[in-house]
Amino acid sequence: MRMQFWYALGLGARIATAATPADTIYEHGYVYTVDLAQSVQQAVGVRDGRIIYVGNDTGAQAFIGPQTRVEDLRGRMMMPGLIDGHMHPLAGGHSLLGCNLNYERLTEAQFATRIQSCLNDSRDQEPNGWLAVRNWFQEAMIGNTVMSRAVLDRLNTRRPIFVLSSFGHTALANSRALTLAHIDAHTPDPRGGQIHHDARGEPTGLLEDAAMRAVQAALPPPTAAEDVKAAAAAVSAVNAQGVTTFLDAAADRTTLAAFAGVAHDGKLTVRAHFAVLITPQAAVDPIKAVASAHALAQQYDQGPLKPRTGLSVHNIKLFLDGVITAPAMTGNMMAPYLVNQGAAQQPHWVAGPSSGPAVYFQPATLKVLLPEAARLGLEPHFHADGDGAVHAALDATAMLRQQFPPSQIRVAIAHDEIVDPRDFPRYQALGAVPVLSFQWEKPAPDTVDGARDYLGPLRYRYMEPAGFLADAGAPIAYGSDWPVDRLDEWFALKVGVTRTNAPDVDPKYRGRLSQDRGLTRAQVLRAITLGAAYELHEDASIGSIEPGKLADLVILDRNIMQIPAEDIAYVRVLETIVGGERVYRAASP
């Protein structure tokens, strides 16, 4: 089909002439395009799943034919579909369907009561059925309680129990679960993980990172049908948020099979990208590890983006550390965490013995692994929380850039919660994309109780450095990390602008976080659209409302650019459109 596009002189509107009319015209709107000029238009035309016109209402009339559906936006805001550049949707779907602590602040007694309720609701699983509990906000336990298996062992059950923290790097297991996983006082820490022990040398039940895998291996996996059901639930949930594309940031064969099942059932209404997880254990043989990831990509990747949704597999995921917050403190830091050598009322914080575990992938391994992956078209997506891990990720990127420029291989570094200021300019220089979770950029139990004193004032001033990175020219993308946090993209965008928590939060968590300026509205919207599209190397097809791009759009109930910043949290998605097809419509209020 022949099309011609140009800019109308002095109007800034993109006008097209075409041989046939549009399938759909959206008119009378506030169309926030996220194009290079950040232009605002009135109308959008869509044909065959792609955008064919962006401009004013008058110009749109030329694209209206007898069969064209015309939708009156009535002044509402339309913007590109949201692109979530880092989440874990299969786990998110399972959390919607299973035993869920919902990220709540709990006392030890409340923690036990909630889990006992789940046990009571599934008594048919006694005595051997596992109970998996999700979304435990470990860092927000009231009283800064350090949990142990004793809490779970007192529950009225004989079942093995596995409680996964919302951050996904710590778990608590009861004695039955530890026994089934063959973890005892003599079990060594695995590469990239830690088993906590009490004063007698016995495991406490707390497991960090790779140490969780022994219990997870003993826990019966969901059936394939249960995985497909969870994946379908995740698709519905993200569409309701306005998400039209996501990256699953730690995918394996099970994850890919689940979403392939949803696609087979005709229910995949989101563009699904996947970063295949390579563990430190697998990377002992880096060539073999990359070959395994590439085999999955060849099996499941469905080719270049087109109007109809599909699976894209051209990333690998590498965890370089854990989390910086207490009590875990498994993030790799350039200087030691602080410890209190005084009393609770008169603290005296000094450098402690630990800077966190060593970076999980050493430079010699990455020197082999990354170029081999790049040669096969697989782009790296690093997890790096602490400044030491971030520095290692940037060093690895510098090494990769000797052979592969950003035009060939994009590099993403997720989280970036503490970054040494000397590393701020390296993101732009190396073409490394920081993928930030804006909802963490507020005072909260994890960023105040679990970080401020342990990091000290020099590092804490840069906690969650979105504004610092933006000022240094870093190409910022957004990723929710769901289900590490609730799936609430609009609250996250509000936090990205204001650096504040919800208005009704405990007084302890009011005010702004750190000395970072935060981002502008335009910057957060770009991060969750074109910025994340750039991260995924899909910015030629999605991420902005421009002729020729795929028609991935959302219609909102209010204008983000005009309402008070705090009210961004209350934005409601009215419609989500993927490839020109409506995949979500809000119920009438």
3-state secondary structure 364-415: HHHHHHHHHHHHCCCEEEEEECCHHHHHHHHHHHHHHHCCCCCCCCCEEEEE
* CB 417, CB 107: distance < 8 Å: no
* The pLDDT of residue 1 is above 50: no
- Which tokens hold the place of 379? 């782009």
- Which tokens hold the place of 30? 């506030």
Domain boundaries, the chain: 3-80+546-585, 90-218, 224-365+377-390+416-535
Question: Residue 459: in which H helix or E strand, if any?
Answer: helix 457-460
What pLDDT is attached to residue 563? 98
Tens digits of residue pLDDT in 160-174: 999 998 877 789 999
* The pLDDT of residue 15 is above 70: no
Least confident of 2-11, 236-245, 431-440: 2-11
* The pLDDT of residue 100 is above 50: yes
Contacts for 44 with CB less than 8 Å, ≥ 6 apart: 25, 26, 29, 31, 51, 53, 54, 60, 78, 545, 551, 553
Spatial CA neighbour of 293 closest among 301, 115, 566, 193: 301
- Which tokens hold the place of 110? 């409340």
Mean of pLDDT values over 73-94 = 97
Spatial CA neighbour of 333 closest among 514, 475, 513, 463: 463
Rg of the chain on CA atoms, in Å? 24
What backbone phi and psi angles, to 5 degrees, belong to 559? Answer: -95, 110
The chain-wide mean pLDDT, for the chain, equals: 94
* The pLDDT of residue 18 is above 80: no
Spatial CA neighbour of 52 closest among 547, 541, 544: 547
Which fold would CATH assign to domain 3-80+546-585? Urease, subunit C; domain 1 (2.30.40)
- Which tokens hold the place of 139? 């860092």
8-state DSSP, 556: E
Spatial CA neighbour of 404 closest among 383, 422, 378, 381: 378
* CB 349, CB 292: distance < 8 Å: no
Least confident of 8-12, 75-79, 183-187, 305-309: 8-12
What pLDDT is attached to residue 193? 85
The DSSP bridge pattern shows strands 82-87 and 40-41 to be unpaired
Tens digits of residue pLDDT in 391-440: 999 999 999 999 999 999 999 999 999 999 999 999 999 999 999 999 99
What pLDDT is attached to residue 9? 28
- Which tokens hold the place of 340? 């209190």
What pLDDT is attached to residue 105? 87
* CB 32, CB 525: distance < 8 Å: yes
Contacts for 570 with CB less than 8 Å, ≥ 6 apart: 490, 558
Mean of pLDDT values over 436-462 = 95
Strand partners, 486: none
Spatial CA neighbour of 426 closest among 455, 458, 384: 384
> In angstroms, rounded to a whole number, what is the distance separating the alpha carbons of residues 582 and 589?
19
* The pLDDT of residue 144 is above 70: no
What pLDDT is attached to residue 17? 53
Query: In which residue are the tokens 């805001």 written?
Result: 77
Quick one: pLDDT band at residue 2, thresholds 50, 70, 90? very low
> In angstroms, rounded to a whole number, what is the distance separating the alpha carbons of residues 492 and 513?
14
* CB 561, CB 39: distance < 8 Å: no
CA distances in angstroms from 129 to 55, 157, 160, 171, 220, listed in the order given: 59, 10, 7, 18, 9
> In angstroms, rounded to a whole number, what is the distance separating the alpha carbons of residues 452 and 268?
42
Mean of pLDDT values over 520-549 = 98
Instruction: Region of 289 please: left (phi>0), alpha (psi -120 to 50) or beta.
Output: alpha
> In angstroms, rounded to a whole number, what is the distance separating the alpha carbons of residues 558 and 32?
12
* The pLDDT of residue 494 is above 50: yes
Mean of pLDDT values over 531-550 = 98
Quick one: pLDDT band at residue 33, thresholds 50, 70, 90? very high
* The pLDDT of residue 21 is above 50: yes
Query: In sequence order, which ranges of 56-147 are alpha helices (DSSP H)?
Result: 57-60, 89-97, 108-120
Spatial strand order of the sheet with 69-72 comes to 3-7, 14-18, 50-55, 43-47, 24-27, 69-72
For the four alpha carbons of 117, 121, 125 and 131, in that order, the dihedral sign comes to: negative
Q: What percent of the chain has pLDDT over 90?
A: 87
Q: How distant is the alpha carbon of residue 264 from its chain centre?
A: 25
Check residues 16 and 255 and name the one with the higher pLDDT: 255
CA count, 13 A, side-chain hemisphere, 482: 24
Which fold would CATH assign to domain 90-218? Diaminopimelate Epimerase; Chain A, domain 1 (3.10.310)
* CB 442, CB 500: distance < 8 Å: yes
Least confident of 370-379, 381-390, 445-454: 445-454
What backbone phi and psi angles, to 5 degrees, belong to 416? Answer: 50, 45
Spatial strand order of the sheet with 82-87 comes to 82-87, 243-251, 271-277, 311-319, 379-384, 411-415, 432-436, 477-478
Quick one: pLDDT band at residue 588, thresholds 50, 70, 90? confident
The CATH number of the domain covering residues in 224-365+377-390+416-535: 3.20.20.140
Quick one: pLDDT band at residue 14, thresholds 50, 70, 90? very low
Q: What percent of the chain has pLDDT over 70?
A: 96
- Which tokens hold the place of 503? 């208005």
What pLDDT is attached to residue 3? 32
What pLDDT is attached to residue 49? 98
> In angstroms, rounded to a whole number, what is the distance separating the alpha carbons of residues 31 and 525?
13
> In angstroms, rounded to a whole number, what is the distance separating the alpha carbons of residues 178 and 73?
57
Spatial CA neighbour of 167 closest among 31, 330, 18: 330
Check residues 75 and 102 and name the one with the higher pLDDT: 75
Quick one: pLDDT band at residue 11, thresholds 50, 70, 90? very low
What pLDDT is attached to residue 451? 94
What pLDDT is attached to residue 139? 76
